Amino acid sequence: MIQQFELSPQAKAGIIMVNMEGPKAGDHDISNPHRDDHCQLMLALQGEFKLNIDFENVEFSSPALLCVFPEEVHQVIDVKDPKGWMISFDPSLVNHEVMQVLENKITHPFLLEEGSAFFQQLIVLMDLIEKMQVQNTNTYVQKSIHALLNSLLSLIAGQLFTNIQSDKEKENRGVIIKEAFLKLAKENFKTWKQPAQYASVLSISTAHLNDTVKLLTGSSVSAHIQKVSIMEAKRLLYFTDKTVKEIAYEVGYDEPVYFGKLFKKVAHLTPLEFRKKFRGQDYLPLH
């Protein structure tokens, strides 16, 4: 089973901030692969970072923003001279529209321009949240912290949206459809395998959904559903000792033979070849 960690007991009302220069408040080993039931946002003001997020090494130097979402398996490989903040928060605290922009737009990592107005605003809000956290003694202070968190994330979402803003209303509508579909796919890929299921929820035709998604991403709706399913299968192959048949069922495929063919089509390896490549010959459980 993939280890999943909850918010730290030190978190108050679903949020906790840690200053990278202060005492460590973490209650689990972030150097081992795991995922969390919450979001993590890091603003790195200084330092060099090396992580692994869903089988991809992510290396960057500050200043930068990094956001890790609940479904992503990650670990810290190496950090040198870090300075900045890490906020862990329950995604239910965040405005739905803002959360959708973050999930669909933020990259690993989002590099910042030191000295820019956006960069300075991030620092001001982070610093204020840290100070308010120390004073978090009643419900109204907690509400203020929640409001500041939403202000911070809205500021980031606005910057991300500005970077990809389209000039045409039709294209903007297409972006909204694409983002809504990708979010639904992450949430429902185990049981919704047909494009028509997503089109029905979005109140558009299957053809319109597929044309829009393919135009903006280069891949069909079915390909995206398969990609999300196979990524979860990769996580289970690597981080658990479940059989290929068990994993096929867990990611929503009742026919293991079909699942095996689909996995090879998407990953260019069979499930067992993938496990052997990433875990070696012995398949010992990972800790």
| Helix H or strand E encompassing 125 | helix 117-134
Arithmetic mean of pLDDT, 173-189? 89
Arithmetic mean of pLDDT, 239-243? 89
Instruction: Of 47-61, 177-191, 266-280, give the lowest mean pLDDT range.
Output: 266-280
- Confidence band for 49, pLDDT divided at 50, 70 and 90: very high
Give the integer Cα–Cα distance in Å for 287 and 180: 35
> Is the per-residue pLDDT at 222 higher than 80?
yes
State the burial class of residue 161 (Cβ atoms within 10 Å of its Cβ: 0-12, 13-18, 19+): middle
Q: Following CA atoms 275, 279, 281, 287 in sequence, which dihedral angle do they give, to the nearest 10 degrees?
A: -120
Give the integer Cα–Cα distance in Å for 74 and 31: 9
> Is the per-residue pLDDT at 27 higher than 80?
no
| Greatest distance between any 2 Cα atoms in the chain | 57
pLDDT score of 242: 92
pLDDT score of 161: 73
Arithmetic mean of pLDDT, 158-175? 65
State residue 61 phi and psi, 5-degree precision.
Answer: -115, 155
> Is the per-residue pLDDT at 176 higher than 70?
yes
Arithmetic mean of pLDDT, 12-32? 75
- Confidence band for 251, pLDDT divided at 50, 70 and 90: very high
pLDDT score of 26: 52
> Is the per-residue pLDDT at 1 higher than 80?
no
pTM: predicted TM-score of the whole model, two decimal places: 0.68
Arithmetic mean of pLDDT, 193-200? 95
Q: Kindly list the structural domains of the chain, giving each domain's residue range(s) and its CATH number in brackets, ordered by start.
A: 4-164 (2.60.120.280), 170-287 (1.10.10.60)
What average pLDDT is seen over the chain? 86
> Is the per-residue pLDDT at 21 higher than 50?
yes
Provide the phi-psi class of 218: left if phi over 0, else alpha when psi is between -120 and 50, else beta: left
> Is the per-residue pLDDT at 167 higher than 60?
no
